[in-house]
Structure 1
């Protein structure tokens, strides 16, 4: 992964949300801001431009002057705290942004002859707040704009992007989905409950809530829960999966590990199957 810093713009009046604190609005039980921060955990420095609030991981705080001065002023405030060759720039209202999109932007920004890469949505519209910019050209153009206009407050982002040589990365259908209205929030909340994604969303939320950084085979655990429920009794499913986690942590030290979980799950599954085989056996 290319070294990079990240700037997340979390200010703004959120007028279409009735002035609500948009970065703190929850989707899938997690604030929008934390969902965005989860997409760039390996950033060298992560700067959040906006009012201070609790976050799932440590960040550097900054504020544009004047407050509410718009995205370019916020970007100018955030970039002062960065030093990496590349700067990831995101808005704080992207519930479905993933690390895969960040990686694609970083890779595209490394191409020869470009000064950055930004997402292009399904309709071909540029998304300058889902982008990676090379640090030196970004700082140069921000300084030029500030000098030309007497500051950055109130200036549109297109004044920056039109001066940079940027390539486009076609985002997935949801990567650049942002939440500007309560209808958008409702849509995002409904999407994460869809059958194909709800388990991944739930497991991610639980791991973040509990401070667990562990990738395990959830299919293996679900199979174990099924076998315990069918072969023993329905209440055995949650109790067995809890005991597997406890055994894995005990076996491999604090926090456990994916291999320990898999081994404990295999042994518990074998026991559940042996238990089931005894049904009706004299």
Structure 2
């Protein structure tokens, strides 16, 4: 039988919340004056955290929740939030008895929005029922809708990923110089992805806008100097056209697009004389 919380006038109860980031990092915080170990994870004291009222219903409407507080820990920094480290992270909010260790998760969801200033943050969570409001039907498009090297694409990620090192970076131009990726031409990386394995940006990824030899321009801004020797993984780019899919990758059978389908203006077209 589960415990009935707040059944007496005075209880030793605190609120905890966990963030499970997509890069495998798990963070825990608790509204208490000292750190607590819970389910094998150290929940750091965050007395300034203020969770909103949690509403759970039997209907199909998504159950929302909010958490706000002070950026009092190195684990929660405005820089990490701006880099996208917390995008799509799983969120758990619950209660814990800091004397007996009893706990219960009251809310599970994902971060739907995260805003941060130099001193405070505010996070909006969406429950799993939010997926019921997403339209799963794909829309027609002349370009491929599949994620490159994803399940629908069918190409092997290992065949199109290359490990490399950072030889230098230019903060003003937002470019990095790579060393060790000697497969293919520089144009193969345009539209691809650079994923950081270590250094200050470890766990994040950025789209490659253009390439000139070993120099790559990134879409995501460099928040600070990158130490030489930092390891990265480069993935080839794809412009999502049928010609590239067929000629470069020999993967036209998995092309997820309709390049020959007439557009919306087909009925308004008029024949050209002569």
The TM-score with structure 2 as length reference comes to: 0.21
Higher helix share: 1
